[in-house]
Amino acid sequence: MNPADSNVLLVDDDPAILRLLSLWLAGGGFSVRCAANGKQALEEIDAECPDFLITDWDMPEMDGLQLCQRVRRLPLPNYVYILFLTVKVTSGEMIEGLEMGADDFVSKPVHQGELLARMRAGARRLQLERRLSQEARTDPLTGLLTQRTFYEALEAEWKRAGRNHTPLSCVMMDIDFFKRVNDVHGHPAGDSILRMVAELMTDVCRASDVVSRYGGEEFCVMLPETNEQDAARWAERARERLASLIIPIRNKTIRLTGSFGVSQRYDDTDCAETLVDQADQALLCAKQSGRDRVVCYESLGDVNELGLHGPNSQQSLFHAVTARHVMNPMVACLREDETVGLAAEFFLRSRTNSTPVVDAEGKLTGILSEKDIMAAMVSPDFWQLPVHELMRPNVVCYDEATSIQMIYEFLCRVSIRRVVIIRDDRPVGTVSRGTLLRWFKNQVVAKGLIEGHHVPETIDDLDPHRSKERLAHTARELARQASQLYACFYEDADDLMPQVVGAATRMQDLLDDLLAYSRYANRREALCAAADTMLLDGSNVD
């Protein structure tokens, strides 16, 4: 530690000693403040915590031992090195001082050389202590705060936000397909990318924001005095910055994308851990919805606003209905030890695009899709690879006793089209959007909920001008996304999967919006809206 960076608080009731020692210490490069007694010293420490405290042993009102004891009990931001000035040199008195928290002693009369030498020795000890503390508080790879230190900062800001009634938001970010980077380019390349992303996240943060490496390729950011809407805008800027990075690795370049989850503290958010957990749930939804996007936790509750939780609607459709009643029974599965060639033949014969994968005991271990097989076709030996090397282990599955309403709400808010239904960890069926649509139609017809209601062939009250504007806006955005995706193919990037997957899912959403403007889509939406209105009207329910 450089003496110029060290702040010394000198305490003595003798003004002459204060003046002399101040001159010596200032000459040694230390920054010095003075106090005439223990009470003044505590006030100075409260105003600014020093690095060193040099105090006389014998002082009126509060002696050096009492001052030392009080200082050690204070919750200070850094360790204070305490040095006693004393004429007491017996072993018993030195033991008493050490037990009270003293670090060193200087005998009176004080010699300048000895004092400065002991101060430099103390500075070396403080430097080592602070380096160890810094290493414990920060991630050695990225230099960001660790998860534990982040929670300490979040707890402090949580209390401040509660006192001042100010908003507080949290953002979780995960690098998309980061495992592929490590697998293809090696862990040194992955470490380099983590450092670059950490630097980017720090650059887009304000001085008051706190960013941490939460674990692996996940980062967590605390945004004080920021509501969820502004936090989402911040996350979108960070997402765009990340997507624009061109990262050179050896003779190749790669591009990255990231998924973001955003949450805000509300009156019913019980603790800081819940705030982070909500951001993590939003992040999971962003990843399941195609990655490379920002999802707010509040948006996950939009399905609850559809009015499907009233007693009448539950009695008419969802009441006592489980996945077992709705699922399509599982006809066949792939085993994890079977070859990719056999899996390809299975897809060709069954005309399905994905299937669960089971182990030797028939328990679910993953899912394999046509897309997974196509990604491996570049390898000449891919036909002989075992299925477990290509399958995705993160299968969205529900027990057969799960309420169908829970599955319905999940499929409403994510881009996943199908979930696997299990019994005793073994796949027994699937529930897809099509499954739910057929079941919904059958329920509506069986209960006579549309009898006597007219479903219009066209929507006459639709404003053509407004519809055309929305159509043009959607088309422009689709063209922009397509242009960005097209530009990626002219870059010298080794792995385009993050860009392709993220862009394709966003374009798919836009295409769905365009199809919704067609005459057929309008009739279909009108039918659904009419049926939904009748479901929410208790007078039309048996």
Q: Domain with 388 in it: what CATH number?
A: 3.10.580.10
| pLDDT tens per residue across span 78-111 | 899 999 998 866 788 888 889 999 999 998 889 9
Q: Does 52 reside within a domain?
A: yes
Residues 412 and 509 in one domain: no
Q: Does 468 reside within a domain?
A: yes
pLDDT over threshold 90, residue 208: yes
pLDDT over threshold 50, residue 534: no
Q: Can you tell me the distance from the alpha carbon of 221 to that of 154, in angstroms, rounded to the nearest whole number?
A: 10
Q: Which pLDDT belongs to residue 531?
A: 42
| pLDDT tens per residue across span 103-146 | 999 988 899 999 999 999 999 998 888 888 777 788 999 999 99
Q: Which of 238-247, 314-323, 429-438, 466-475 shows the highest mean pLDDT?
A: 238-247
Q: Does 457 reside within a domain?
A: no
pLDDT over threshold 50, residue 535: no
Cα 363–chain centre separation: 31
Residues 162 and 254 in one domain: yes
Residues 101 and 166 in one domain: no
Q: Give the tokens for residue 347.
A: 């897809």
Q: Can you tell me the distance from the alpha carbon of 510 to that of 9, in angstroms, rounded to the nearest whole number?
A: 65
What average pLDDT does this structure show over 525-530? 45
Q: Can you tell me the distance from the alpha carbon of 115 to that of 108, in angstroms, rounded to the nearest whole number?
A: 11
pLDDT over threshold 50, residue 459: no
Residues 169 and 297 in one domain: yes
Q: Does 12 reside within a domain?
A: yes
Domain stops at, among 251, 273, 301 = 301
Residues 436 and 492 in one domain: no
Q: Does 70 reside within a domain?
A: yes
Task: Say if CB 217 and CB 158 are below 8 A apart.
Answer: no
Residues 386 and 249 in one domain: no
User: Which of the residue ranges 28-32, 214-218, 473-477 would you say has the lowest mean pLDDT?
Assistant: 473-477
Domain stops at, among 108, 137, 166 = 137
Residues 285 and 325 in one domain: no
Q: Does 455 reside within a domain?
A: no
Q: Give the tokens for residue 268.
A: 């019913």
Residues 115 and 75 in one domain: yes
What average pLDDT does this structure show over 239-268? 90
Q: Does 507 reside within a domain?
A: yes
In the chain, the number of structural domains is 4
Q: Does 458 reside within a domain?
A: no
Residues 328 and 254 in one domain: no
Q: Is the peptide bond before 109 cis (omega within 30 degrees of 0)?
A: yes
Q: Which residue, 502, 508, 507, is CA-closest to 292?
A: 502
Q: Can you tell me the distance from the alpha carbon of 170 to that of 226, in angstroms, rounded to the nearest whole number?
A: 9
Q: Can you tell me the distance from the alpha carbon of 267 to that of 162, in angstroms, rounded to the nearest whole number?
A: 9
Per-chain mean pLDDT for the chain: 81
% of the chain beyond a pLDDT of 90: 37
pTM: 0.52
Q: Higher pLDDT residue, 190 or 442?
A: 190
Q: Which pLDDT belongs to residue 510?
A: 73
Q: Which of 380-389, 391-400, 528-537 shows the highest mean pLDDT?
A: 391-400
Residues 333 and 438 in one domain: yes
Residues 185 and 289 in one domain: yes
Length of the chain: 542
Q: Which pLDDT belongs to residue 450?
A: 47
What average pLDDT does this structure show over 372-400? 78
Domain stops at, among 77, 110, 137 = 137
What average pLDDT does this structure show over 216-245? 94
Residues 382 and 501 in one domain: no
Structural domain including 124 reads: 3-137
User: Which of the residue ranges 46-60, 142-156, 228-242, 426-440 would you say has the lowest mean pLDDT?
Assistant: 426-440
User: Residue 265: which residues within 8 A CB-CB, separation 6 or more?
Assistant: 158, 161, 167, 168, 169, 275
Q: If you count DSSP H runs as helices and E runs as strands, how many of each does the chain have, helices first?
A: 19, 19
Indicate the SS3 state at residue 25: helix
Q: Which pLDDT belongs to residue 410?
A: 79
pLDDT over threshold 90, residue 480: no
